[in-house]
Amino acid sequence: MLEKVKNTISKYDMLSSSDSVLVGLSGGADSVALLVCLTELGYNVSAMHINHNLRGEESDRDERFCVELCKNLGIHLTVKSVDVKGYCQGNKLGIEEGARELRYSFFSTAKTDKICTAHTLSDSVETMLINLIRGTALKGLCGVPNKRGNIVRPLIDCTREEIEAFLSERNIGYVTDSTNNSNDYTRNKIRHLVVPKLAEISKEQNGSLYQNISKTLNSIKLDEDYLSTEAENLLKRAQTDENTFDYEVVFSSHEAVLNRMLIMLLKRYEVEVSAAKLEDLKRACEEGKKINLKKNVYASVKTGKLIITGEKEKPQVYFKEISFENTDKVSEFFLDRRVKICLIERDSNESNVHNMFTKKDIDYDKIKGKIFLRNRKSGDKIRLAERGLTKSLKKLFNESIPLEERHKVVVLSDNDGVIYVEGFGADERVSADENTKRILEVEIS
């Protein structure tokens, strides 16, 4: 299995040898195997355990196990304790959805180049089947993505059986979540009742269920990638100015590409995407009607153009912009949270910057002019070092930050633009490298 993980990392270009790597460690077989694999493969590994406090003493047992495991392996572990139930009640979320939001929120604050989660081929097959049963578009049949931004999944080609055999060979223990044995959850029903039957039928046909479905998943992902790329190209060709699109170009495309393009358009204007909203937009365009996409935002067709009109909602200003000179002193600000900005000198004897800092840190000497502590502004962009592409903060926030929380995100900029975004890290222009001598550290609590 170790060789399979190594090949997966290489095939999907998940990690480089210089990356600092954070493993999301639950204590279960999958995450324990991931931690051991990456350690044996020689990566610079740390771990984070989130205690969701959902299962009483069992949750505390999992935390103790993770602490002991990392101690034995010599791996730095960060433990976070969260009130998932309270968070879900306050935000009207289901337990699974709320727990996931909190996990990834904590992961995003870690000073690391890559975040590794222990999703497996078994998880991907279960996800595909769940989405198939509920009804889904092609994207929903792709299973779990092998990577998303700086989040990577090195076990995505491994089955749960392979993982348990790997740990057994090394005599390494793990904990089991008692809720995994219950069929109260849809995923557990699929895992316990459906997958074994499908595996049995597949075996009768002289085939391997996971190998066969893995081939299908890879094929579907290729098709989805192609159609999504075509939709992005269509949107670029159709756009004539900021809010106007050539109707003939838009609706001359195949429906599969058209649907994806319109979904991209809805997301651009932060409109909640649903099948009903998509059909309403298409029908309104075809009939030449004006449709309300959301508060103050409308779509209509005039003189051969699809036009998005109306005022965009102004972003809430959560705190006033603060500017200060590039200084060697510690600066401390109190917003809704405490923001501490200070300078750290790199040890002149330190041979590798990754031993102390990461690409998410700011190289103090690359900052141009004044530093500004502020909210996101329209037009803000950042080029994150680990992603290798420039994105607007609007698109970046769409990926992982709830709409109602975006105005609270701390942004740092200098005279040349954005240099740091809370939860994402430094712009490539000012990120730390092997020549970095001084780090501007941002601590938010």
The answer to whether the CB of 172 falls within 8 A of the CB of 165 is no
Predicted local confidence at residue 205, as pLDDT: 84
The per-residue pLDDT for range 255-311, each reduced to its tens digit, is 999 999 999 888 888 888 888 888 888 887 888 778 888 877 888 888 888 888 765
The per-residue pLDDT for range 403-419, each reduced to its tens digit, is 777 878 889 888 888 99
User: What fold does the segment set 227-309 form as a domain?
Assistant: Chorismate Mutase Domain, subunit A (1.20.59)
For the chain, the structural domain boundaries read 2-204, 227-309, 322-444
Percent of the chain residues topping a pLDDT of 90: 40
3-class SS shares of the chain: helix, strand, coil, % to 5: 45, 20, 35
Predicted local confidence at residue 317, as pLDDT: 54
Predicted local confidence at residue 114, as pLDDT: 93
Nearest by Cα to 361 from 345, 338, 381: 345
Whether residue 129 has pLDDT greater than 90: yes
| CATH architecture designation of domain 2-204 | 3-Layer(aba) Sandwich (3.40)
Whether residue 355 has pLDDT greater than 50: no
The per-residue pLDDT for range 26-74, each reduced to its tens digit, is 999 999 999 999 999 999 999 999 999 988 999 999 999 999 999 999 9
Specify the amino acid at residue 187.
R
114 vs 286 pLDDT, higher one: 114
Residue 328's pLDDT band, with cuts at 50, 70 and 90, is: low
Residue 432's pLDDT band, with cuts at 50, 70 and 90, is: confident
CB-based burial, 16-51: b 16+ in 10 Å, e otherwise:
eeebbbbbbbbbbbbbbbbbbbbbebebbbbbbbbb
Of 140-154, 158-172, 425-439, least confident by mean pLDDT is: 425-439
What are phi and psi for residue 34, nearest 5 degrees? -60, -45
At CA 443, angle to CA 81 and CA 46, rounded to 5? 55
Residue 332's pLDDT band, with cuts at 50, 70 and 90, is: low
Residue 123's pLDDT band, with cuts at 50, 70 and 90, is: very high
DSSP tag of 402: -
The per-residue pLDDT for range 75-93, each reduced to its tens digit, is 999 998 888 888 888 878 8
The per-residue pLDDT for range 257-270, each reduced to its tens digit, is 999 999 988 888 88
The chain-wide mean pLDDT, for the chain, equals 85
Provide the H-helix boundaries in 82-120.
Answer: 84-91, 95-109
Of 184-193, 222-231, 316-325, 378-387, least confident by mean pLDDT is: 316-325
The per-residue pLDDT for range 171-218, each reduced to its tens digit, is 999 999 888 887 877 889 999 999 999 999 998 887 889 999 999 999
Predicted local confidence at residue 333, as pLDDT: 60
Whether residue 401 has pLDDT greater than 50: yes
Within 10 angstroms of residue 233's Cβ, the number of other Cβ atoms is 13
Angstrom distance (rounded) from CA 226 to CA 179: 39
270 vs 322 pLDDT, higher one: 270
Whether residue 368 has pLDDT greater than 80: yes
Predicted local confidence at residue 33, as pLDDT: 97
120 vs 136 pLDDT, higher one: 120
pTM score, whole prediction: 0.68
Whether residue 116 has pLDDT greater than 90: yes
Predicted local confidence at residue 440, as pLDDT: 84
Whether residue 350 has pLDDT greater than 50: no
